[in-house]
Structure 1
Amino acid sequence: MTVQAKSSDRQTPEGSAPPRSSRIISIQRWSIVLLVAGGALNYVDRATLSVANKLIQDELGIPVAKMGLLLSAFLWAYAFSQLPIGGLIDRFGPRRLLGLGLFGWSLAQAAGGFVTSFGSFISARFALGVGEAPLFPGGARVVRDWFGIRERGFATGLCQSASSLGNFVAVPLLTYLMLSLSWRWMFILVGAAGILLAGVWWMMYRDPSEVALTPEEHRYLTEGDENTSSGPPTLAQWGHLFTHRTTWGMIAGFFGTIYTLWLYTGWLPFYLEHERHMSVARVGVLAAIPYFFGCVGAVVGGWLCDFLTRRGWAPMTGRKLLMVCALCGISVCTVGTVFAKSDSLALALISVSLFLIYIASSAAWATVPVAAPGQFTASLGSIQNFGGYLGGALAPAVTGFIVQRTGSFSEALMLSAAISLAAAAAYLLLVRGTIHSEGPAGGAAKS
């Protein structure tokens, strides 16, 4: 990627959005391509265990409830790694942290192909969670660093589409690898692909501090963004983010979003086999359908964020509206899935749920670059993601215990619907405004 300065010959009319230089456009395209590739691979890695769920149970003798714990091991490690990782990204930059994270999680993924017991599998999944922690907070920082405020929503939506794209590709791809080779080789090959991608990221991506920006390029990146500041946050400033109602509203809203997402990510193949009595080969095809709709929802959600901003909505208000509406819709569709008599209707409702989940996810992540000053972007994003993945960590384990106790997914789905509705209420009541910087130290003022 070129880092030589290029001045644009175009003149910017007073009050209009400044133009992007050809270099900025190139950096944006490469950044999004690499983030989407990393995000898709990230979710392929996560899906390996759910796709191979029954084969791993049979070979290693792991009961259903313990499989829920195994699915959650990654998520607990991922959730608690979020707390320090955001501040580290804001201090050292996404190039270093995302590169190291991608390399580390890929090694852990490959190690999953060599496990011989429940304990060793737990360790490999824990390491996977730690390694994957930098990706989405780092992606939020990349969007904040390289996109103007009018374009951050769509760029965020593209990045968020990677997770659903990964799940869409993962189910048929991993099923094919698993049935053609073995579940162990499935883990090893996916890990090798990640190590290769880590090298590409390190060679291609650059942080803004590594690029000599022209005045016009700097203006494009900051124009219209009233919540800008510079310098990495101190530990005290990072901790001060927790004093804001907006921060807690973002945590609660994302908790509900990711709880439902991981109910499906962890258990959808098993649900279709156990509850809907589908064959493994049929599930390998049909389970991909909801994630196609999720991929569309992520892009639509990001586009809607920018559309509402262009129509005159305050960025925070527009994103809040999308989050609340999407979470309410998720609750309705999840209840509908419980009472759906036909497999087709159940799959359609799950598909709409995934569509809305990814609209909510795009809106939540698009809120991060506008909710706090620039040097807090990854920090706030990781705090939000911590809340989300507390929900994500609970979902597979709670679902596993409920299914083992009742023999059905009905109670687990109804609980998820209630959590989505509560998350919508929390977002509506707590998210009130942006978190502004104050004073020369760049501390955060109450929202």
Structure 2
Amino acid sequence: MSSISDTRPAAAVEAAPPRDAVSSRALPTRRRWFMLSLLLVATIINYVDRVNISIAAPFMAKDLGLDKIQMGLIFSAFAWTYAFALVPAGFIADRFGSRFTYGVSLLSWSAVTVCQGLAGGFTSLFGLRLAIGVMEAPAFPANTRAVAVWFPARERGMASSIYVCGQYLGTALFTGALLWLATTYDWRHVFYSTGIAGILFGGLWLWIYRDPLSCKKVSKEELQYIEDGGGLVKSSQERTRFNWRQITELFRYRQIWAICIGKFASTSALYFFLTWFPTYLIEERHLTTIKVGIFAVMPFIGATVGILLAGIVSDMLIRRGVSLSFARKLPLVVGSMLGMSIVLINFTDSNVVCIAILTVAFFAQGIASASWAAVAEVAPKELIGLTGGVTSLAANIGGIVTPIVIGAIVHETGSFAYAFWFIGGVAAIGTLAYSLLLGKLYRIQLQAR
């Protein structure tokens, strides 16, 4: 296929800035890092509101009389609507900017999260999870866009890693507290507390967050530093018109196909941890809720370390003159390959060894999550949010498939053993996509307008 060849179109070449192209002098402001801290908190809330159902699940299933097939469907319902809302959500992020898009999204999904605490059975829970999927869809396209406009290329890997680690930090920090709520009061309080927290932060986001050219507290020197380093400062005020041909043209590039496949593989592992993981520890490993609160945190800490390490190493390689393609691809290949280690859990009866293996596997998934930096590098500058939405769509098909497949496997076999073989096999596919298909990274320039 000539359309996905390795040859870089001359018009599409965007080389990484030379090592000394951007002044390293101290800047009067560092407002970009403050904005990144807002992205981190928003992402923590985003993922706590995804994972809270897995924490409530053992109590909820018993209270409402839900079987494994029904729980698998409820776990996957979020991803059904989330995945297919991502493309329009990406366009919305490009059209209206990160501030408005993320703020409305936060307030909406948090309100629906509160409503989950009022659910009375399978139908209402399933419907509410479908609704949350739609409401959360704009979050990561808005994240990608915010990093691309606020950060130069040499800092983009670390910036992406910092906000992505929010998807692990929330669980690591709050699993114990949410389990305490579920056991001390009931599972409904898990949803009440997390939903109210999101509503409060949504108002704070709308009040504080601004794109670079709309921010009164960023200095001219910092704006120049960002723009000279490849940050898309001026694109933050551009409003893009949507054209369906733009999506078709995106898929002419092998980079998009490879990232989509790799993200699908990585997300499959992620959704095991976001959905079935506590149930696995309680029902197959027979751990008490106290031990689950302790042990369940370890893999999420591992994943947090993984994504931060990937960002640090990737940006360091770029600063030392290594090609952008190699620096961004290295963590993707290494993380996907190491993710296959999850199958080793089938060969141990020790709970300690089990948690160690899962921690390594989720550490690997964290490394592979550095794919968001790759998306920020290849996305057409006028369609950063849309490209993030397209690649997230592919990723979250894994969120649809994985919970259902695992639920069916456990229902039929009474064991999670084949589920781990499934996740390991998908990780192998991701490794092949990143190592053989991805090719060189460069910013795509679309012809369709």
Q: Same fold (TM over 0.5)?
A: yes
Which position in structure 1 is the counterpart of 2:292? Answer: 283
1:220 lines up with 2:250 in the alignment: no
1:379 lines up with 2:386 in the alignment: yes
What is the deviation of 1:18? Answer: 5.8
2:273 to 261, 264, 267: 264
Counterparts of 1:124-135 in structure 2 under 5 Å? 124-135=128-139
2:368 to 342, 346, 360: 360
Q: Is the 8 A contact 2:153 2:229 kept in 1?
A: yes
Which position in structure 2 is the counterpart of 1:338? Answer: 346
1:185 lines up with 2:194 in the alignment: no
Would you say how many aligned residue pairs link Structure 1 and Structure 2?
426
What is the deviation of 1:233? Answer: 5.2
1:82 to 75, 81, 86: 86
1:166 to 150, 153, 170: 170
Which amino acid in 2 is paired with 1:256?
A: A
**Distance (whole Å) between structure 1 residues aligned to residue 241 and residue 375 of structure 2:** 16
* CA deviation map 1:116-171 (0-9, x unaligned): 12111111111111111122221111111111111111111110111110111232
Which amino acid in 2 is paired with 1:144?
A: A
SS at match of 2:171: helix
Which amino acid in 2 is paired with 1:22?
A: P
2:23 to 12, 17, 23: 17
**Distance (whole Å) between structure 2 residues aligned to residue 374 and residue 386 of structure 1:** 19
1:110 to 88, 109, 114: 114
**Distance (whole Å) between structure 2 residues aligned to residue 14 and residue 170 of structure 1:** 42
Which position in structure 1 is the counterpart of 2:66? Answer: 62
Distance verdict in 2 for CA 1:444–1:341, change over 3 Å: farther
1:302 to 308, 311, 323: 311
* CA deviation map 1:185-242 (0-9, x unaligned): 2211211110000000000001234247776444322224399984425323344212
What is the deviation of 1:317? Answer: 2.3
Distance verdict in 2 for CA 1:233–1:312, change over 3 Å: farther
Which amino acid in 1 is paired with 2:351?
A: D
**Distance (whole Å) between structure 1 residues aligned to residue 338 and residue 276 of structure 2:** 21
Q: Is the 8 A contact 1:82 1:383 kept in 2?
A: yes
**Distance (whole Å) between structure 2 residues aligned to residue 433 and residue 150 of structure 1:** 17
Which amino acid in 2 is paired with 1:390?
A: I
**Distance (whole Å) between structure 2 residues aligned to residue 160 and residue 274 of structure 1:** 30
Q: Is the 8 A contact 1:47 1:171 kept in 2?
A: no
**Distance (whole Å) between structure 2 residues aligned to residue 227 and residue 251 of structure 1:** 23
Q: Is the 8 A contact 1:372 1:434 kept in 2?
A: no
Q: Is the 8 A contact 1:99 1:202 kept in 2?
A: yes
Which position in structure 1 is the counterpart of 2:8? Answer: none
**Distance (whole Å) between structure 1 residues aligned to residue 51 and residue 231 of structure 2:** 40
Which amino acid in 2 is paired with 1:260?
A: A
Q: Is the 8 A contact 1:68 1:401 kept in 2?
A: yes
Which amino acid in 2 is paired with 1:416?
A: I
1:401 lines up with 2:408 in the alignment: yes
**Distance (whole Å) between structure 2 residues aligned to residue 336 and residue 64 of structure 1:** 24
SS at match of 1:22: coil
Which amino acid in 2 is paired with 1:17?
A: S
What is the deviation of 1:19? Answer: 4.8
Task: Supply the RMSD in Å over aligned alpha carbons.
Answer: 2.2
* CA deviation map 1:51-88 (0-9, x unaligned): 11121111211111110000000111111111111111
Unpaired runs of 5+ in structure 1?
A: 1-12
Q: Is the 8 A contact 2:272 2:403 kept in 1?
A: yes
Distance verdict in 2 for CA 1:57–1:16, change over 3 Å: closer
Which position in structure 1 is the counterpart of 2:200? Answer: 196
Which position in structure 1 is the counterpart of 2:14? Answer: none
**Distance (whole Å) between structure 1 residues aligned to residue 57 and residue 101 of structure 2:** 31
**Distance (whole Å) between structure 2 residues aligned to residue 126 and residue 85 of structure 1:** 15
What is the deviation of 1:17? Answer: 3.1
What is the deviation of 1:316? Answer: 2.5
**Distance (whole Å) between structure 1 residues aligned to residue 171 and residue 123 of structure 2:** 26
1:94 lines up with 2:101 in the alignment: no
Q: Is the 8 A contact 1:233 1:375 kept in 2?
A: no
Q: Is the 8 A contact 1:18 1:219 kept in 2?
A: no
1:347 lines up with 2:351 in the alignment: no
Which amino acid in 1 is paired with 2:366?
A: Y
What is the deviation of 1:280? Answer: 2.0
Distance verdict in 2 for CA 1:149–1:233, change over 3 Å: farther
2:249 to 240, 252, 276: 240
* CA deviation map 1:331-380 (0-9, x unaligned): 0x21111112311111001001111101110x201112211232222221
Q: Taking structure 1 as the reference length, what is the TM-score of the superposition?
A: 0.90
What is the deviation of 1:305? Answer: 1.4
Q: Is the 8 A contact 1:305 1:366 kept in 2?
A: no
Indicate the percent of aligned positions where both proteins have the same amino acid.
33
Q: Taking structure 2 as the reference length, what is the TM-score of the superposition?
A: 0.90
Which amino acid in 1 is paired with 2:383?
A: F
Which position in structure 2 is the counterpart of 1:7? Answer: none
What is the deviation of 1:14? Answer: 7.7
**Distance (whole Å) between structure 2 residues aligned to residue 43 and residue 296 of structure 1:** 17
Which position in structure 2 is the counterpart of 1:423? Answer: 430
**Distance (whole Å) between structure 1 residues aligned to residue 57 and residue 220 of structure 2:** 54
SS at match of 1:374: coil
Which position in structure 2 is the counterpart of 1:389? Answer: 396
Q: Is the 8 A contact 1:87 1:238 kept in 2?
A: no
Counterparts of 1:45-56 in structure 2 under 5 Å? 45-56=49-60
Q: Is the 8 A contact 2:90 2:141 kept in 1?
A: yes
What is the deviation of 1:423? Answer: 1.1
SS at match of 2:251: helix
Moved more, 210-219 or 391-400: 210-219
Q: Is the 8 A contact 1:227 1:436 kept in 2?
A: no
